[in-house]
Amino acid sequence: MVHGKQTRVMLLNDMEKLERTLFRLEQGYELQFRLGPTLQGKHVRVYINYPAPGEKFNRHKFRALDWVNPTGREDDSDKFCKLELKIAGSYQYYFGCGNDEKAGGGYIVVDPILRVGADNHVLPLDCISIQTYLAKCLGPLDEWPDRLRVAKESGYNMIHLTPLQTLGLSRSCYSLADQLELNPDFSSRGKKSTWADMGNLVEKLRKEWNMACITDVVYNHTAANSKWIREHPECGYNLVNSPHLKPAWVLDRAIWHFTCNAADGKYKERGLPDLIQNDQHLNTIRGILWQDVYPKIKLWEFFQVNVEAIVHQFKNLLENGTKAVKGKKEGKSHFKIIQDPEYKRFGSTVDMNTALETFIPHSNSPSAIQDCCNWLRKRLEELNAECYKQMHYHQEQAANCIVGNLVYERLANHGPKLGPITRKNPIVTRYFTFPFEEKSLDQDLQLLHKPDKACHFLAHNGWVMGDDPLRNFAEPGSNVYLRRELICWGDSVKLRYGNKPEDCPYLWAHMRKYTELTAKYFLGVRLDNCHSTPLHVAEYFLDVARTVRPDLYVVAELFTGSADLDNVFVTRLGISSLIREAMSAGDSHEEGRLVYRFGGEPVGAFVQPSLRPLVPSIAHAMFLDVTHDNECPIQTRSAFDSFPSAAIVSMASCATGSTRGYDELVPHQISVVKEERFYPKWNPQAKPSSAGEVNLQTGIIAGKQALNKLHQELASKGFIQVYVDQVDEDIVAVTRHCPSTHQSVVTVSRTAFKNPKYHHYKDNVPPMFIPGKIEEVVFEARTIQRQTGSYQKDEKSINGLPEYTVEIREHIQLKDSSIVKQAEMKAKGRSEFVHEIVFERLTPGSVIAFRVSLDPKSQEMVGLLRGHLIQFSPHYKSGSLPDNQAPAILKTPLASIMSKLTLADINVLLFRCDAEEQEDGGGCYGIPSWMPLKYGGFQGIMSVMADIRPKNDLGHPFCDNLRQGDWLMDYVSNRLVSRGGALGQVGAWLQAMFGYLKHVPRYLVPCYFDAILVGAYTTSLDTTFSLMSSFVQSGSTFVKLLSLGSVQMCGVGRIPALPPVSPALKDVPYRLNSVTKKEEQCCVSLAAGLPHFSSGIFRCWGRDTFIALRGLMLVTGRHLEARNIILAFAGTLRHGLIPNLLGEGICARFNCRDAVWWWLQCIQDYCNIVPSGTDILKCPVSRMYPTDDSMPQPAGSVDQPLHDVIHEAMQCHMQGIEFRERNAGPQIDRNMRDEGFNVEAKVNPDTGFVYGGNRFNCGTWMDKMGESDRARNKGMPATPRDGSAVEIVGLSKSTVRWLCELHKKGLFPYAALTIYRSGKKLSVSYEDWNRKIQSNFEKMFYVSHDPKDPNEQHPDLVHKRGIYKDSFGASSPWCDYQLRPNFPIAMVVAPELFTVKRAWEALEITEQKLLGPLGMKTLDPDDMVYCGVYDNALDNDNYNTARGFNYHQGPEWLWPVGYFLRAKLYFAKKMGKETYEKTVFLVKNVLSRHYVHLERSSWKGLPELTNENGQYCPFSCESQAWSIATVLEVLHDL
């Protein structure tokens, strides 16, 4: 685990569209794209618009990234393309695959780096404390420093200014008359202020005050009185460029004239006064709308057709004999109204061709034509009626919205209560500008037809409740203006950008200059009304801004109502911080939850690796106690709450801030429209009653200064961990913790959401328990009332409540606190001390902050521990201490202690399942109320931690167990110490490290336990791979993970599982038997699978061992151990067979026909792979059974060279093997029938095929014996595979061919076999045997496409052609023709038997029929007995499935996949380059699923089998030796 450089890995998955997922990164990070399982093996191209070095960013220019494959070969598990992130902004990536140009994609956002001060030091985003100012309330520019100094003295480090441009008539801060002109209000009498002056001030604040400045950009609208919009009306939505708005404009004018009439008293006699006071008045307004307004303007006519004109045109066409033109579309078109794009009354039309298709006269007579025209007229009248009905719905909604608006503006208590209807305060705000003289409604409507006038009726901007923010409500298709759903800003015109600069050149150019001007002078921008700004517009201008200022800080407030939609804006615009507000919390509990949500990790979080997956994040928060456009908290809560709520906010691990006026306790919202007074200036000597000046005694400013200072210190010093504790309903404690120094700051805030004057707060406050040593009280502060007279709103200055202030004391000792009554230090366990704090004056409005460190002993222990962890990562340097009194074992680096371990030791260190541990008298560690670990070794712990660590799941039972006691630490170290030797040394090292860990506070134990274990685990992996072959050492992550299977499966138990090899053999490991005290051999043996086949006599099986040996031992470089296993099994040869169940040789069962051939194949592989491998042929073999009937002999009694043993096995087969198993009967097999104990294996003299078995036994790997009395399958093999099984024929051919070659080289002394027939001695040469198999194989095994194939003995049983039989000569002939995954084994070991084209076709059929997600179906799904779900516990009446009878009749076994893929690779090469490349894709894609399984498996293995379609099978071994081995062999072949 390398620390330092931070790398994030993005896994690409097919069809994964992540446009609404936020991925945040920092500059200096490396981003890697890697292939997920769905894409491995495919040709994938990744594109991104992040600029190449030296190039400028262009959002529409994408470049392909180059793939890096560090291991260069076998699979795609480590293949990546990377980006060094050095430029802030939003970047889009997508990837293509095959013909799919965009198979997925998304965005990444890179944070800006802000710099302030004369030395340009970095201002981290989490350090930001921002204060908002309405620019118009700052007065002339030369007075700004005195007013802005308030922010500096209050401890803020960023100022947000509302727009600085000339304001529109309404004087709203956000209605700008000219985007390029500085507000003239900022000029003083003698001097005109310029943008350069503004820039100088901003730079002065940045350099001298260390304060950054940002300002708003408003892209959505301009002031209605902007000069340039009069000259360029095309920049807004007018009736010429947006004729769809005509009906809405007509309605708007009609409502305006209704306003004028109401204001002039014309409706008094109908019960409508100018002052609206009740529901009756509202109903009168509804009545007038429906009776007077709507009927007069007839809005439906804009959507209807002129019936008579259309009927007349249609009649002419019919009379002229015009026929409908047949369209390209199938079937008739739908007859409907086509809207007139110019929206003229009755201007809509219909499609005449559709009319001719729909209304067809039955003849050409005038009466028939007239009838037809009448049908058309009727249909047109119906369509017009539908338009009328639709408009009725729109008018209903318009009436509701108008009345709703009146209720809010004139009747509601929380509304502005506008008073009588006047032209200044109309019934509703006008939706369109009308820059002409007022005339009658009829005269107004005449202007519709004059484009030079109609182009100046511009739509106002506003917002629509609950609208889709990604839709522009002014564009065609939206009826917002017609239905009066817009909450309108009557001072602003909505801007119409179109889709690109060419659509409105002036507007884009004008706003571009505005953007460049802003970015030139300010470090950042706030996007005003962001959720209503068209995304492509904001994107374009932010790109412009970033060319001027690459590290542009972008903030926005979004009201989309969904985090998903928020992310669309954040990702596409590269928003750095989203504004969040504490005012949205209804109580202190919710306020605390927001602190936890918006930043930080939990206290005691785990150290994450520097290379880790890129995970989605929430947008970085700018958490404000209140925003400048929201109601005042004093009005909704109380003045006493201002300070404690601000304290809760400032403890958040994100940007925080406020708005000017909050700290001064201004008791009303400072209106962005109406406020014209100035902010007070800073004056340290000012009196509390002075309205125009403020200082530390004003409001909560002194408290805010302390909070801002603390906020910035915590962020800059790495206090990134957060814990929020709801002490009671009003008290919130927030802890910020630094994970390197383990210092904490705890603030306790007593909120006052209700005014203490009218609400009774409890006198007794619950005590608090703070772990560690309280170093100081950082500050304690209480909101108090003072005698200064009550609040009077000042005429000139924005003043606050003078009668409240904060009484604050900073940096005092606990004993001097006036809020804490007593603090008692209590021991909590051996290494933890807590302070019990009893409060006496924690009144509503109070806050106290404690600085806490660990108690000195714990602090020292953590420091020493961190010192020893530096060997694994430099991350631990901070907070570490040198250890001069370290135990001797800790003075040696762990890597050098581990270098003395063997792979057999590492099996104990990392693995060993519960059965293996129990055999040694132990067991795996069990966690109460949860489950036992999978392994006794490190892997058992690491598998659990891999789930817990990334999520920081500190509440997991595993973490609980670590916090509650030292049991797991003792288990881990004692387990190794008790073994002595090199493992004992590792145990001693862990014991010493845990010695420190036991003395740190319990809440820190999980993260440091994990740190120690991660270090030890990664070191042990390095040691493991260093002991393996170069193929593993230079291999991919996948190769390394698979090769760990070799360590997992190969070990030495308390009782050696292998029989002893010859004492004459060199390099055999020995150990002292703990019971007999004598030396004994301790050769590694290979378990068949975990957990079921890992210990006792069921650990070692001949067949499993030799199917797995090549992959797990030869490929990984464990040659000596492989040799010992081969020779140990050679010693057990009897009847020419080696055992199936080894049973230490003494309890062996010689009941399988294939194990001997797998053993022989392994000897061949050994000779071919191992340097000087053929030396093994001369190695001595100690024969346990020198004759078939002898008793077991001790090692060394009868030795003979291996080549003699090989020859004997071959000779026995040629002679014919026929015997009955010893002790036949229920004592060795309780299910087998008597005939099944008869073993037979022979060679057919005509074909050379090995054959044998009978229908009552199963001598190959498909060896399921029926067990159900109820289903009557007991004693019947499900798959006897008697006769010549295809893989045995292939393996025997491979061996015979190899022996012929060895003999030619003089390495094998035998050319022929001697047999006896009818008492006569005969000789059969190996060459002859080899030729016979070669010439007969395809004849007998290939199922030809020719129905008259003369070699086919049972043409009636053929049901699939172009495949190879599973066996030849079975007692049930139909079994020969079943499609199973066995013939690919023969293809791999003896490819010379197959014709390339036939082999390829057979493999294609196998892929289509048998290949599953992880394994191969063991039987063709078309077969009548196929069943893909294995349930060994189910006993029912079904012969085919009871008690797992279908073990090999469908379930998907993994190991055959290895042989299938190897066969495909071999024959694909013969088929040509294109086929080979396609096959490599297939292989990588199949293997990627194994990689994913292996990575996610807590066993770190591949299972024995799965149920159909890759579903989990609970009866399977979780990790199977041959499954891992054969997959590793595929990678070796690649």
As annotated, the active-site residues are: 528, 531, 629
Distance CA 246, CA 252 (A): 10
Distance CA 1483, CA 1491 (A): 12
Q: Which helix (H) or strand (E) holds 624?
A: strand 621-624
Say which residues have a Cβ less than 8 Å from residue 698's Cβ, sequence separation at least 6: 663, 664, 680, 686, 688, 800, 805
DSSP codes of every residue in 418-461: --S--SSS-SS--SB---S----HHHHHHGGG-HHHHTT-PBEE
Q: Which helix (H) or strand (E) holds 1120?
A: helix 1119-1130
To which residue do tokens 């456009």 refer?
629
Q: Give the number of C-alpha atoms closer than 13 A to the C-alpha of residue 64, restricted to the C-beta side.
A: 10
Distance CA 479, CA 458 (A): 16
- Secondary structure letter of residue 1442 according to DSSP: G
Q: How far is CA 1262 from CA 272, 287, 643, 1135, 1451, in A?
A: 94, 88, 76, 22, 12
3-state secondary structure of 67: coil
Going by their DSSP bridges, the two strands 1089-1090 and 221-223 should be labelled as unpaired
Distance CA 218, CA 232 (A): 18
Helical H runs in 937-1076?
A: 938-951, 957-964, 967-977, 981-997, 1005-1026, 1030-1033, 1037-1049
420 alpha carbon, distance to own chain's centre: 58
DSSP strands (E only) in 1341-1442: 1342-1343, 1363-1364, 1367-1368, 1416-1417
Q: What angle do CA 1207, 1212, 1217 make, to 5 degrees?
A: 160
- Secondary structure letter of residue 1481 according to DSSP: H
DSSP codes of every residue in 648-686: HHHTSSSEEEEETTTTTT-SS---TTT--SBPPEE-TT-
Per the structure block, which two tokens stand in for 1526?
Answer: 């054969």
Please report, to the nearest 10 degrees, the dihedral formed by the alpha carbons of residues 161, 164, 168, 174 taken in order. Answer: -30
Please report, to the nearest 10 degrees, the dihedral formed by the alpha carbons of residues 1456, 1459, 1462, 1464 taken in order. Answer: -70
Per the structure block, which two tokens stand in for 642?
Answer: 């201002």
Say which residues have a Cβ less than 8 Å from residue 131's Cβ, sequence separation at least 6: 151, 154, 156, 158, 159, 160, 657, 658, 659, 660
Say which residues have a Cβ less than 8 Å from residue 218's Cβ, sequence separation at least 6: 163, 174, 176, 179, 528, 529
| Nearest partner of 447 among 229, 292, 238, judged by Cα | 238
Residue 1091: cis peptide before it, omega within 30 degrees of 0? yes
Say which residues have a Cβ less than 8 Å from residue 522's Cβ, sequence separation at least 6: 202, 213, 214, 215, 549
Say which residues have a Cβ less than 8 Å from residue 991's Cβ, sequence separation at least 6: 973, 974, 977
Strand partners, 833: 827
Number of H helices, E strands in the chain: 40, 57
| Nearest partner of 1025 among 1138, 1191, 893, 903, judged by Cα | 903
- Secondary structure letter of residue 1239 according to DSSP: E
Assess contact for 213 and 522: CB atoms under 8 A: yes
Q: How far is CA 1042 from CA 781, 1103, 1436, 1459, 1487, in A?
A: 61, 20, 39, 16, 11
